[in-house]
Structure 1
Amino acid sequence: MNQDMAGPVAAELTARDVVAVALTWVDNAGVTRMKGVPVARLAHAVKHGVGASPTFDAFLVDDSTLVTRYAGGPVGDLRLRPDLGRLTPLHAQPGWAWAPADRFDLAGRPHPQDCRALVRAQTARLAGRGLRCLAGFEIEWTVSPAGRDDFVPACSGPAYGMTRVVELSDYLRDLTVALTSQRIAVLQIHPEYAAGQFEVSVAAEDPLGAADTAVLTRETVRAVSLRHGLRASFSPKVLAGSVGNGGHLHLSLHRTGTGTGTGTGTGTGTGTGTGNGDGDGDGPGGGTDAGDGLGGTSLMSGGTGPCGLTAAGEAFVAGILGRLPALMALGAPSVASYLRLVPSHWAGAYACWGLENREAAIRLIVGAEGAPGAANVEVKCFDLAANPYLAVGGALAAGLAGLESLEALESPGSPDDPRRAGTAVLPEPVGCDPAGLAGPELARRGIRRLPTGLGEAVAAFEADEVLRDALGIELHATIIAVRRGEIELFAGEDQAEIVARLRWRY
């Protein structure tokens, strides 16, 4: 289909004075890389791809590279093929369009370390069970005057204050126009807690679309910021001692009724769609959750489980919660991520869940009255150093493990896979800041502190067979190598040095 579309799409781009298309992919260090083609070469790129070295899989965040068992070195080539279904003329970069790229080997087979392929595979596994997930990322960033490497807030108003909007109203207006003109459904845009910090929340969509939108939204923020003399940072930590930028992932599970799998529960929820914006990051706030009618029957509400979850919804969330320490290597992958992940800062530093609890790593959002289909969970411990495809793909794999555990429980006599045991049922919800609980109470309730450093997260990720199987041996091993390479890269540096080196890399 892409090939049939290429000619008409190129003609339309030319009519709109677009001269080049940026083909992007996100590497394992969380950096968006690109190759560009003139519009006249778009059809060739769709059919034959654009050459790109596989060594990018082993890039570190500072552009140094590793040579690992499955990636790195000067030998080999891949082909980038643009996904024309997401091709978008860029409002703030006249003459340019953007398309996410899939990576293939020279024989036309999907590259084993292609992250978009990971998301497709996990989505297909859900579809085989008659299930669909909707997802969305919150995007937080801070702005400083352009042309300098230190950070000075570009506005002086208070957290969540209208003063910041008054100070930068033209900027926020132009950003909203740019996003909406690119078919990004903006739910909220507002000042955040930290100095010079803002957030945009966008509508939920299928998991691959959500990751694509996260990339496009960030690059649009970056481009509009520069046009206003500003420099945007999405780093988990912009100033030592201050709160950082989160990249919360929202997920909801729905029954489509078209799969052949079993063990997905018998909840009676009737809502559709899911919300993704809640209007808060590391500081106080609130907002709205809106369904979009795309999901099918919600499995996050209308059930008999805790807080109205159905059996399948509970198992999906329990699977994610049980694997959060390992998932941190995907969703909080920077050494700076653990400078942000501080208790009592609304960053979700404890592996627990709770109803509307902004200190829990997983917050259940039930939606407004009359909109039960808006119910979803927010993974609060993730940030924007993450490759969004890895973050959402890993979360889906963990949720699927929970569903498979439920299937095993519902099938007496079936083999019990020890990797999935105990992941179908949630512990009791936490209705307070877990940092305020005494050690014995934390132990009684099974509440653990999430990894306090990247090394701890990598160790959990390395030991996790479910994530290894989902990502494949090559991608799993390369991610471990990249994470350990970055741990070594910043070894011995204090917080201020780490923050300064990473401030403008994300």
Structure 2
Amino acid sequence: MTETNNGTATAELTELATFVTTDIAGITRGRSFAATQIDDYLRKGVGWVPANLALTPFDQIAENNPWGSAGDLRLMADPKSKARVTCLPDETPLHFYHSDITDLQGNAWDCCVRSFLKRTLKEYEDAGLKVISAVEQEFQLLGVDWPDAPSFGLRAQRRAEPFGPLLMTALQEAGAEPEMFLPEYGKDQFEITCRPADALTAADRGATIRAITKEVAALFGWNASFAPKTSANGVGNGVHLHVSFTDLDGNPVTFDASRPGRLSKAAGSFAAGVVKHLPALTAFTAPSVLSYMRLVPHHWSAAYT
């Protein structure tokens, strides 16, 4: 039994665990169950349907999607991706696992973005490379009522108390290895960074950080928005993706002082490929009208590419 603020006894709430997938719209979705049954669900997964991938950011199922109401899939959780946060006051633990989407035979579904990443990383390993990555994510807190404070200033951080310490504690509990929390240039804007890890773990952390940041902000009655723009005249929010390479034994192979740009042959080829294909990559990295409001000069974005 637990006791509420008015002193009445209530039944102990059931902790939920959730298997989640983050889709191509950048939204984390999933299904929950009693956390006491985690071993059973880790074995068999939870149900999912193809049409969930057709959900737009506006919660509309896109017309003319290839699936309609047909088909069954499974969310199969990766136990190593577990995130569990118990430090949120007056809340049950936030407990979730990043998952692969599979068919009913256990094979990776063609449209599972996490499985696509795993296949890509296997191709790098076949070429003798491991990918190390880390993310920095900017966001704005909406619904706050603070006096102005200098960009990057200590005052800008302290006026948000205790948001920053609670966010860092929650991310540490979740295993996201947060590195820095800082006030950014935009109005009521902050940035959270995490330590480097293998690329799959880094991708999971990116989604974990967004989910937990929103959860912590909601405790204060705020909305944490990672949108490229929250106002037409605002600076906007970006994501900085850091990438480096090691060989299969973990030795760094990104730097080469003798080559152009001081990049090794492999790293230089990677960078050249990114630049060459950026116009196509923007279909995934900048898919919205808001994205293109930020992809203009003087907005700290890659407008010229």
* Displacement of 1:166: 2.0
Which residue number corresponds to residue 8 of structure 2?
Answer: none
Among candidates 249, 254, 257, match of residue 300 of structure 1? 254
1:154/1:230 contact within 8 Å kept: no
* Displacement of 1:48: 2.0
* Displacement of 1:185: 1.6
* Displacement of 1:53: 1.5
TM-score (normalizing by structure 1): 0.55
CA distance in 1 between counterparts of 2:131 and 2:280 reads 21
* Displacement of 1:27: 1.9
Among candidates 204, 220, 232, match of residue 224 of structure 2? 232
Cα gap change, 1:51 to 1:169, in 2 (>3 Å): same
Among candidates 198, 203, 214, match of residue 211 of structure 1? 203
Cα gap change, 1:195 to 1:124, in 2 (>3 Å): same
SS at 1:245 equivalent: coil
Cα gap change, 1:208 to 1:154, in 2 (>3 Å): farther
Is the aligned partner of 1:90 residue 2:85?
yes
CA distance in 1 between counterparts of 2:76 and 2:136 reads 27
Q: What code does the residue aligned with 1:132 have?
A: K
1:88/1:99 contact within 8 Å kept: yes
CA distance in 2 between counterparts of 1:173 and 1:315 reads 40
Among candidates 39, 52, 72, match of residue 77 of structure 1? 72
1:18/1:89 contact within 8 Å kept: no
Which residue number corresponds to residue 297 of structure 2?
Answer: 343
1:236/1:336 contact within 8 Å kept: yes
Cα gap change, 1:217 to 1:178, in 2 (>3 Å): same
Is the aligned partner of 1:334 residue 2:288?
yes
% identity of equivalent residues: 30
Cα gap change, 1:327 to 1:124, in 2 (>3 Å): same
Number of residue pairs matched by the alignment: 290
**Range with bigger deviation, 41-50 or 210-219:** 41-50
* Displacement of 1:85: 1.1
Which residue number corresponds to residue 248 of structure 1?
Answer: 240
1:135/1:251 contact within 8 Å kept: yes
Give the gaps of 5 or more residues in structure 1.
1-16, 146-151, 258-295, 352-506
SS at 1:139 equivalent: strand
TM-score (normalizing by structure 2): 0.89
Is the aligned partner of 1:313 residue 2:267?
yes
SS at 2:206 equivalent: helix
Is the aligned partner of 1:188 residue 2:142?
no
* Displacement of 1:67: 4.2
2:46/2:76 contact within 8 Å kept: yes
CA distance in 2 between counterparts of 1:155 and 1:108 reads 54
Q: Whose strand proportion is higher, 1 or 2? A: 2
1:23/1:82 contact within 8 Å kept: yes
Which residue number corresponds to residue 142 of structure 1?
Answer: 140
CA distance in 1 between counterparts of 2:32 and 2:146 reads 32
Superimposed CA distance per residue, residues 280-303 of structure 1 (whole angstroms, 9 cap, x where no aligned partner): xxxxxxxxxxxxxxxx23232134
Which residue number corresponds to residue 278 of structure 2?
Answer: 324
* Displacement of 1:241: 1.2
What is the alpha-carbon root mean square deviation over aligned residues?
1.8
CA distance in 1 between counterparts of 2:157 and 2:203 reads 28
2:28/2:211 contact within 8 Å kept: no
Q: Whose helix proportion is higher, 1 or 2? A: 1
Give the gaps of 5 or more residues in structure 2.
1-12
Q: What code does the residue aligned with 2:207 have?
A: V
Superimposed CA distance per residue, residues 410-450 of structure 1 (whole angstroms, 9 cap, x where no aligned partner): xxxxxxxxxxxxxxxxxxxxxxxxxxxxxxxxxxxxxxxxx
Among candidates 132, 146, 160, match of residue 168 of structure 1? 160
CA distance in 2 between counterparts of 1:81 and 1:193 reads 40
Instruction: Please list every run of at least 4 consecutive aligned residues from structure 1 whose deviation after the TM superposition is greater than 6 angstroms.
Output: none
SS at 2:59 equivalent: coil
Q: What code does the residue aligned with 1:221 have?
A: T
CA distance in 1 between counterparts of 2:150 and 2:18 reads 37
SS at 2:43 equivalent: helix
Cα gap change, 1:18 to 1:176, in 2 (>3 Å): farther
CA distance in 2 between counterparts of 1:298 and 1:308 reads 13
* Displacement of 1:153: 6.0
Is the aligned partner of 1:101 residue 2:69?
no
* Displacement of 1:154: 4.7
* Displacement of 1:136: 1.5
SS at 1:329 equivalent: helix
SS at 2:138 equivalent: strand
Superimposed CA distance per residue, residues 329-361 of structure 1 (whole angstroms, 9 cap, x where no aligned partner): 11112221111111122112122xxxxxxxxxx
Q: What code does the residue aligned with 1:82 have?
A: A
Q: What code does the residue aligned with 1:109 have?
A: N
CA distance in 2 between counterparts of 1:26 and 1:69 reads 18
Q: Map of 1:264-303 to 2, 5 A cutoff?
A: 296-303=250-257
